[in-house]
Amino acid sequence: MFTKILIANRGEIACRVILTARKMGIKTVAVYSDADADARHVELADEAVHIGAAPSRESYLQADRIIAACKASGAQAVHPGYGFLSENAAFARRVEEEGIVFIGPKHHSIAAMGDKIASKKLAKEARVNTIPGVNEAIATAEQAVEIAKGIGYPVMIKASAGGGGKGLRVAFNDKETFDGFSSCRNEARSSFGDDRVFIEKYVEEPRHIEIQVIGDSQGNVIYLNERECSIQRRHQKVIEEAPSPFINDATRKAMGEQAVALAKAVKYQSAGTVEFVVGKDQSFYFLEMNTRLQVEHPVTESITGLDLVELMIRVAAGEPLPLKQVDVRREGWAIECRINAEDPFRNFLPSTGRLVRFQPPKETMWAGDTQHLHGVRVDTGVQDGGEIPMYYDSMIAKLIVHGKDRKEAIAKMREALNGFVIRGISSNIPFQAALLAHPRFVAGDFNTGFLAEHYAQGFRAEDVPHDDRDFLAALAAWVNRRILQRAAGISGQMPGHQFTVGEEFVVVALDEAGKHSRQPARVSDFEAQSGSSVVTTGEKRYEICSNWHLGGSRIRGTVNGKPFTAQVERGVGKNPLAIRIIHDGTRMDTLVLTPRAAQLHALMPFKAPPDMSRFVLSPMPGLLVDVAVQPGQKVQAGERVAVIEAMKMENVLFAAADGVVANVLASKGESVVVDQPIVEFA
């Protein structure tokens, strides 16, 4: 067994590998860029090596520097994690040639599965179901139309080297095929330097289901059940679960056996994932093989009780698999939510900056620990006060729950999301909460088009359902009563003039448009010691009991005898008296006033926000990589104005109307913040 390994990655996956290595008694070496000097993975590792500047192409993608770090530190093996160089066959080969063990499949297996056209041919030879289509590179748009007619519409046009949604189009007729072929070629050429395109049958109402496999150097390969990954936004997975709520045991077995056959065909060693598209009739077809550890591997670990990272390390060290196919178990239900640094209410634009507060829910399961299951686990590479840099992926944590069945797992996840505190940046937690409450998700009735169908116009605050909004108002009144209690207890008050707290309040729900709703609330039977009181609003009565302290971000307690977790923030927006309540993804900003103060507040004029229609504003924090206009230039609506880059994502800003540029307020290469004016029109 190795005594020291290097992790050629960053963030949560680097931390994840370190935890298993520590359990196995193996020392770890972290690598880091300028942006990650104070990152959590650097802190967790036994030693760390600096490998370059912040952009990944100057650090984490520099194979020479990673190999040099291995040699300098004496690491005998390198774990690539996922992303970066994890599926780079040339890197795996170089590592092996330098006498270092690559903790992953052999380079020839990576190469065989890395090319979509070649992998399809291999799958056919291994008798794996493949989608009807033409796997040869297609030369012209006219030829593409003829092929599409022969297959039958709808068809999918895909770039051989595509990925992440790039170089992919669905066509329902000849014109869409002709146009889509040209677009795919151009996109693939510019993104991947490879313009080969092929066509296959498009499976309607498709589900994305993948099989986890693992093989050793002795030729043994087993499958570790499936994962359901159909909840996707722009071809990026959002929620994953294991097992799938859709397929039956016969389909599971058939898919697993075909995945094993494919892995054996390429002499696969290590953990890998065979991805399938599954039709509504449970017909399934091979999509591709990911020759690395998947982001969503924790859900498989939860239902099987296996540590996949440990198995990868042991296999790489030459050990045989410690179990056979009959030993693989499937217990309970696991769900993973990807917690991303993005603003769901601003079209999921990246959100970077300081994590003013980062408090995950209480963990009862841990990465690398296969004993404590049926609980909550958080895999993350960040910590309280850390920085979310603009240079890398937007995922900051993975929240994993394991329950005895799917219903319990969903309930655990909703409660865990309620207790996940993130301040300083925006996160997609409200979006995740809305998905988990959606009736079709709860019923398991969804496919890969689910998000496009239900959130075609984007995600808005009103898309977050809440069973009882009166509870949010009642909780705000309860929080206010706790705050006033402290004021009433301040010593040194003049006799006869002590501060007294009444029972009658008005909860004013604030919104940005100035349309404030007002809701009377009575807080009675208040007990300062136990935190118990009764809040009556309208015809509803809430007995709230919690030992929440005034500086806490989370409120845990009971309401009418049932446990709840919510979040509270004081002094939000421009009002130091405002109280924000967050529960089940819904956010309510309130002022809790006495009845007389509420009367006076209703008379206050509403100050509308300034008119910024003359400006092009930055929709996200990032790097201004291009300004395409100059002062005095005439610009038409829809014309490109500027480009901002953040988290491996380019965002092009367009003019909303015809006009003349008056001023350019930011320069190329400058770091910009949200809503910073970039261009002003006359």
**pLDDT value at residue 5:** 98
**pLDDT value at residue 163:** 65
Is this structure's pTM higher than 0.85? yes
Handedness of CA 637, 641, 646, 649 (dihedral sign): positive
pLDDT means per 10 residues, the chain with 682 residues, are: 98 97 98 96 98 94 97 98 94 96 97 88 93 84 93 88 76 94 85 84 91 97 98 92 97 98 97 95 93 97 98 98 97 97 89 92 94 96 91 93 98 97 94 95 95 88 86 96 86 84 92 79 88 92 94 94 95 86 94 94 84 88 92 90 84 88 93 92 90
Spatial strand order in the sheet of 659-664: 615-617, 677-681, 659-664, 634-635
**pLDDT value at residue 30:** 98
**pLDDT value at residue 165:** 66
Active site residues: 288
Handedness of CA 434, 438, 443, 444 (dihedral sign): negative
Q: Each residue of 334-369: b (16+ CB within 10 Å) or e?
A: bbbbbbbbbbbbbebbbbbbebeebbbbebebebbe
**pLDDT value at residue 513:** 64
Domains and CATH numbers, the chain: 4-103 (3.40.50.20), 133-201 (3.30.1490.20), 207-455 (3.30.470.20), 469-490+500-602 (3.30.700.30), 615-681 (2.40.50.100)
Report how far apart, in Å, the C-alpha atoms of 70 and of each of 29, 102, 292 are: 8, 11, 20
Rounded Cα distance, 300 and 336, in Å: 10
Report how far apart, in Å, the C-alpha atoms of 232 and of each of 49, 122, 164, 238, 432 are: 36, 27, 11, 5, 12
**pLDDT value at residue 678:** 94
Residue that the structure tokens 């007389």 belong to: 596
